[in-house]
A and B are shown apart, each in its own frame.
Chain A
Amino acid sequence: MAGTGTAHLRNAADTLLRVENLVVEFPVGRTGLKVNAVSGISLDVLRGETLGLVGESGCGKSTTGRAIMQLPRPTSGSVSFEGKELTSMGGDQMREARTRMQMIFQDPISSLNPRRKVRDIVMEPLTIWKRGTKADRDQRVDAVLEEVGIDPQRAAESQPHQFSGGQCQRISIARSLVLDPSMIICDEPVSALDVSVQAQVLNLLEDLKARYGLTLVFIAHDLAVVKNISDRVAVMYLGKICEVAGSDELYRRPAHHYTNVLLSSIPVPDPSIAVQRHPIEGEPPSPVLPPPGCRFHTRCPAAEDRCAAEEPQLREIGDGHFVACHFPVHGGDAPVAVRSSSSAG
């Protein structure tokens, strides 16, 4: 198998979302080349769980999130949500399914139509699906706006640009809530916000999650933020998954060399702690021609010959802790594959 494996998938009864071998490719102009944005990712999220997805810019986090929503449909792979396969669904069925999962985007301002009133924006999902009477809808919208801390009166009179970034993010959260979804995919919802506003939004998400029993997929490049909100974290590099573990476990005992790098890059708000750096040089390689074998081998401090030749598969090295690395920081080297490694990058 050419992916990084599915060993980490659980066979629990209350699995809400299960993604297997998701591949998304974009053509590069008319050159015949393609951007390997996501190359065989597998994930699962249980009901009520928060899955964090971290990685550098361009590693395919947003593409994964959008492919789960089928916007656009993935090149290949399977996405099963609430027990139903989304990739083979027809247009109308898919529209219906999308009401059960929602997405919040990074740029709070550009995710709201600049030419409409905020209240109408939040009302839109109810209008599309013609839910309830006009009075029911009004009531619902007001309730949700109150819940996220936006004055409904002001929302009726104002356009998005009249609100601050943090408020716009609350408005998009309100919009994603009115249809009562079971899962929300948050694509870097706090990256564009100030630290203090970021804390408000993270707290709000935690509160709403508890109140509505939501399941979250939380995408971010900041490991500290992801750790704060997630139960389980998947680390991505160049379209592949490197490591999956419970969030406390991942921080305590990172096994993949790339996770180590990410962790040591976090600025520590305490000058008395001397940070132990694992600096990496250079930039991530182009996703058009990704390196063969382990995609991280061009920058990995522990790379050996085997890393360039053979792609590591995800394997369990601890309770619920999975890593795709031949020579991880801990957990023992991967057994040499019995089959000859014909796996392509």
Chain B
Amino acid sequence: MTITADPVLSAPPPAPADTPTQRPARRSIKLGMWVGVAWLAALALCTLFAGQLSFVRGYDTKLKVGGKTGRYNIGPGTRAWMGTDSSSHDVFARCIYAARITLTIGVLATVIGLVLGGVLGIICGYYQGWADRLGSIVTDSLLALPPLLLALLLVYRMDDLNKEYSWLHWLTREWEITLTLGILAIAPFARIARAQTIALRDREFVLAARSLGAKSSRVIAREIVPNLIPAMLTVAVTGLGILVAAEGALAFLGLGVQRPLTWGKMISDGQRDLGRAWWATIFPCMFLFLTVISFNLIGDRLARRFDIREAAI
């Protein structure tokens, strides 16, 4: 509502303005969130209980036509809802299994980004001065490089390290990708944590705690972190969607996980034969797309709920 609408109301009345014009928008955001939640819940259930569900075939089950396997021998239909891929596996089943690894990578990477970025951001925002300058150099340089280039560098570097040092044997491709995505996520998380900490730092209850003689660590743990949580969770949900998509992009560049497949790897494998068997690419794409969108819708709703400005993200 602005002056253009009615001059007297040059300001919206302080009471939560619930004008008719705003209502549909608010409702559609709410609806969007529930659609997102429904999709993610269904996906999570199928993924967790894939072994027990009769409509999900085994990961390695091959579908035969006339007793023989064959490249893309079945299109979408009643036998295989989403057809089969180049090695006769059911695309639907593989999409479900791929969700496991894709989401695990996404969640772990988010946690890494959240924790490291959060700590970095809080330190920068709280101590300011040289700590802030140092932290800003780190985040700025992380943000300055094109993310995919950075990811490529990181993954190749870790590949080398893996070969060089035997104690790094656990560093499989999955972990490499998780760590890489986690590192990429540090900068955005650090930024928002820093902005929020600076805002909170000058709030009077934080000053009050400091004037009581509380140590910095206590002020951060008791006064700042609890008030950061809503914002950070919101960003984490939106970020999870972005990281899932980023994993797809990495797979497309040939940095995929070998087995089990991820959606990204499925898409990059299938796209060579797009003309012949569109289903092997389109369906994983759909899964990826719906998941990313769902996270975004939920993130949007949370951001509105907690009143977090997008500029900060």
Are chains A and B touching in the complex at the 8 Å CB cutoff?
yes
Chain A residues with CB under 8 Å of B272's CB are none
Closest to A126 in B: B212
B208 near A66 with CB under 8 A, answer no
A125 at the interface (CB under 8 A from B): yes
Given contacts A113-B223, A115-B226, A115-B227, contact A105 B207 (CB under 8 A): yes
The stretch among B112-120, B213-221, B250-258 that forms the contact with chain A is B213-221
Instruction: Identify which of B207, B211, B213 contacts A96 (C-beta below 8 A).
Output: B213
What per-residue 1/0 map shows which CB atoms of A81-102 lie under 8 Å from chain B? 0000000000000011011011
Asked if residues B205 and A111 are in contact (CB atoms below 8 Å), the reply is: yes
A179 interface contact, C-beta 8 A:
yes
Contact B226 A128 (CB under 8 A): no
Contacts of A172 in B (CB 8 A): 208
Q: Are B205 and A110 in contact (CB under 8 A)?
A: yes
Contact B218 A128 (CB under 8 A): yes
In the assembly, what is the distance between CA of A95 and CA of B215, in Å? 8
CA distance A128 to B214 in the complex (A): 6
State A125–B208 Cα separation when bound (angstroms): 10
**Is A257 interfacial (CB-CB < 8 Å)?**
no
Contact with A along B194-233 (1 / 0, CB 8 A): 0000000001110111111111001000110011000000
Task: Assess whether A105 is in contact with B204, with CB atoms less than 8 Å apart.
Answer: yes
Check A124 against B211 for contact (C-beta < 8 Å).
no
Whether A112 sits at the interface, judged by CB under 8 Å, is yes
- Verify A113–B227 contact, CB threshold 8 A: yes
Number of B residues, CB within 8 Å of A: 17
Contact B208 A95 (CB under 8 A): no
Query: Counting CB contacts under 8 A, is A274 at the interface?
Result: no
Interface centre among A113, A115, A129 (most CB of B within 10 A): A113
Which residues from B are CB-within-8-Å of A318?
A: none
Q: Which of B210, B215, B218, B223 contacts A71 (CB 8 A)?
A: B210
Closest A residue, CB atoms, query B206? A113
Cα–Cα, bound, A249→B215 (Å): 43
Instruction: Given A114-B227, A115-B226, A115-B227, verify A66-B207 contact (CB < 8 Å).
Output: yes
Contact A107 B204 (CB under 8 A): yes
When A and B form their complex, what is the total count of cross-chain residue pairs whose Cβ atoms lie within 8 Å?
63
Q: A115–B210 Cα gap in the complex (Å)? A: 17
How far does the alpha carbon of A239 sit from the alpha carbon of B227 in the complex, in Å?
34
For B205, the chain A residues whose CB sits under 8 A away are 110-114
A114 to B222 alpha-carbon distance, docked (Å): 11
Given contacts A110-B205, A113-B205, contact A103 B214 (CB under 8 A): no
Partner of A102 from the list B204, B211, B214, B222 (CB cut-off 8 Å) is: B211
| Residue of B207, B211, B218, B226 most packed against chain A (CB within 10 A) | B211
- Docked pose: A71 CA to B207 CA in angstroms: 8
B203 (CB) vs chain A CBs: closest residue: A110
- Known contacts A115-B226, A115-B227, A128-B218: does B213 contact A103 (CB below 8 Å)? no
A95 to B213, CA, bound (A): 4
CB contacts (< 8 Å) of B226 on chain A: these are 113, 115-116
**A contact residues around B222 at 8 Å (CB):** 113, 116, 124
- Report A-chain residues with C-beta under 8 Å of the C-beta of B207: 66, 71, 103, 105, 111
Please encode chain A, from 167 to 178, with 1 for each CB lying within 8 Å of some chain B CB and 0 for all others: 000001001000
Evaluate contact between A99 and B212: CB separation under 8 angstroms. yes
Minimal beta-carbon separation of B294 from chain A (angstroms): 28
Separation of A71 and B213 alpha carbons in the complex (Å): 11
Task: Please give the distance in Å from A97's CB to the nearest CB on chain B.
Answer: 8
**Closest chain B CB from A79 CB (angstroms):** 14
A201 in the interface (beta carbon within 8 A): no
Residues in A with CB closer than 8 Å to B218 are: 128
Chain A residues with CB under 8 Å of B210's CB are 71, 98
Give A107 Cβ to nearest chain B Cβ, in Å.
6
Question: With a CB–CB cut-off of 8 A, which chain B residues contact A71?
Answer: 207, 210-211
CA distance A95 to B216 in the complex (A): 10
With contacts A96-B213, A125-B213 known, is A175 near B208, CB below 8 A? Answer: yes
Q: Considering the chains assembled together, what is the distance between the CA atoms of A172 and B214 in angstroms?
A: 16
Interchain CB contact under 8 A, A98 and B208: no
Measured between beta carbons, the chain B residues less than 8 angstroms from A102 are 211-212
Q: List 10 A-B contacts (CB under 8 A).
A: A95-B215, A110-B203, A112-B208, A113-B209, A113-B223, A113-B226, A113-B227, A128-B213, A128-B214, A172-B208
Interface pairs A-B: 8 shortest CB-CB: A111-B204, A105-B204, A95-B213, A125-B212, A98-B213, A113-B205, A115-B226, A103-B211
B residues engaging A (CB < 8 A)? 203-205, 207-215, 218, 222-223, 226-227
List 9 extra interface pairs beyond A96-B213, A102-B211, CB under 8 A. Answer: A95-B213, A98-B210, A102-B212, A103-B207, A110-B203, A111-B207, A113-B205, A113-B209, A114-B227
